[in-house]
Amino acid sequence: MTYDPRGLGASPIDDPAQDSTPELRADDVVAILDDLGAGPADVFGSSGGAVTGLALAAKYPDRLRTLVAHEPPVLELLPAPEVERQRAASRDIVATFHRDGPGAAMAKFMANAGFTQADGAVPTPPGPPPSPEEMARQLAGLTRFFQHELLCTTTYLPDIEALKTARVVVGIGADSEHLITHGTSMALCRQLGVEPVIFPGDHGGFIGAPEEFAAALRAALQH
């Protein structure tokens, strides 16, 4: 099962000005599990979704069997000088969004994450171009990300002691060493006293090598 966080995709939102904090997203995951009548769940999250998973594991450990957190951008775990630099970079990205629009903000976001222009290039999907309605949904999603999610996610400080009582697998892409999420993931491993599990590809390995990635995920859940 996958889900759209509130205000994104097919999920509506009552208060569009509400910030999308990791704790709020964790509450929503639990609400979905409650609605389904589901017991403890195996949870996979990548990037910001991995931060949601960390908040879920810390706040609701009884609702979780295993969390596979793939490259969470937990920037607050980096060395202090880098934390300050990353906080400033995130604020600048948001300011760029308001001043110059989503394209310029996304370019800064990708560069700060460590992607080259070629790494960050999004392939053109087959078929007709997006409809005006689809373009509007994409713009709304980017607006919510830059206005209400980016800062909440990148400034989240995991509750390490709470996470030590849960089964947390930290996944790192085999080709992610040049990305900032490699550093944040390794920092989380050191704090938790665990070794990373290597997944195929880089930050988006589940897109570039879905079958191999799924096999690695199944193996991580079975150990």
| Per-block mean pLDDT, blocks of 10 residues, the chain (223 long) | 88 92 97 94 97 98 96 98 98 97 95 76 59 84 95 98 97 97 98 98 95 97 86
CA distances 158 to 40, 163, 184, Å, are: 21, 8, 12
pLDDT of residue 72: 98
Identify the structural domains of the chain with CATH numbers, from first to last: 22-222 (3.40.50.1820)
User: pTM above 0.85?
Assistant: yes
Place of tokens 């991995």: 50
pLDDT of residue 117: 59
pLDDT of residue 118: 52
In whole angstroms, give the CA distance from residue 144 to residue 137: 11
